[in-house]
Structure 1
Amino acid sequence: MKRFILTGTPGAGKTSILRHLEERGFDVVDEAATEVITRRQAEGDTEPWTRADFLDQVVALQHRRQTRSTTRDVSVQIYDRSPICTHALGSYLGRPLPETLSAEIDRITREEIYERQVFFVRTIGFCEPTAARRISFEDSLEFERIHEESYRLFGYDLVDVPAGEVGDRAALIAEAMTRLSR
């Protein structure tokens, strides 16, 4: 199975692109951090990313989703973020990286879980805050830089997905995944 990662700065349009790819028949594995934030906020924790165990929870959910998805009968999957993104998030937040994250990065590297080509969705020029995404546009650009550094640190090749219409961006990714899957 070929597993591709879609990543980029918050608010760049990843979710819209993923929904479009899903409509085209691609198997999509959703982002973990947003789910952890949403669940914790529903429980009354307004800023779960400030908790010491936040990164551990994200890593655990990413691991469960990735290992569960291996039972699907598909040849190509696309992941909304990966443990490398969690590395970038921890760096952005100025947090020490938990052992669970180091172990998961070691596992995905050793087992070659993801393709080395990562689709990096570039900013669309603004960032709309949400309950789970409280980041300014300026901070999102810094987060984008840290994401690039993290992926390069672990030996991934970035495939730029420039700003544009959602359908055009999804088509670019679909064509590239098809070509890379041969």
Structure 2
Amino acid sequence: MARYILTGTPGAGKTTLLRLLEQRGHPVVEEAATDVIALEQALGRDEPWADASFIDLIVALQKQRQMGAGPGFFDRSPVCTWALSEFLGFEPSAVLRAEIERIEVERTYERSVFFVQNLGFVTPTAARRISYEDALRFEQVHLEAYRRFGYDLVLIPPGDLAARADQVLANTPFQ
């Protein structure tokens, strides 16, 4: 079952790229962290990422979405959550470790991961309060995490959205 991960720094255009892939008829699975942040903020927690339990909330939603999905494109994965945990200075939790082990044993995702490179800026949102400089550091943490877990990175450089989508599709059995 071909499940491909799209990852990269915040503001790199992953979600926009995912929207175009969806428009072209490919199944997509939304990023969990943004939805967790939105819900937690609606519940009155302005910076939910400041608490280590935030990581487990993301893992739970990622797993729920992955278990209900077939082949397609995934906006981030538990490896991204591992990178986020490291970036935030949290020790990876037992829940995160178990999920990483599960996806490795089950070979849940394709080994080729699409790493959407940054666009040269970050546009802040309610969920994205990261500076461009921190986003670049976070980008490196992501790269290192995927390499550590043995994934092959397919770099998607900045550029025209359609060209980025074409590059992704050229590296999959989807056309």
Question: Normalized against structure 1, the TM-score is what?
Answer: 0.94
Cα shift readout 1:154-181 (whole Å, capped 9, x = no counterpart): 0000000000011111111112112xx6
Secondary structure class of the residue paired with 2:95: helix
Secondary structure class of the residue paired with 1:113: coil
- The corresponding residue for 1:77 is 72
- The corresponding residue for 1:63 is 63
How far apart in 2 are the matches of 1:63 and 1:168?
30
Output aligned runs, 1:1-182, within 5 Å: 1-70=1-70, 76-178=71-173
Unaligned stretches of 5+ in structure 1? 71-75
Alignment root-mean-square deviation, CA: 1.2
Q: Which runs of 4+ in 1 moved over 4 A?
A: none
Unaligned stretches of 5+ in structure 2? none
How far apart in 1 are the matches of 2:122 and 2:140?
15
Cα shift readout 1:76-114 (whole Å, capped 9, x = no counterpart): 311000000000000000101100000000000001000
How far apart in 2 are the matches of 1:177 and 1:29?
16
How far apart in 2 are the matches of 1:170 and 1:45?
36
How far apart in 2 are the matches of 1:5 and 1:43?
29
Secondary structure class of the residue paired with 1:177: coil
Cα shift readout 1:4-35 (whole Å, capped 9, x = no counterpart): 00000000000000000000001000000000
* Identical pairs, percent: 54
Shift of 1:52: 2.7
Question: Normalized against structure 2, the TM-score is what?
Answer: 0.97
Q: How many corresponding residue pairs?
A: 175
Shift of 1:143: 0.3
Letter in 1 for 2:113: V
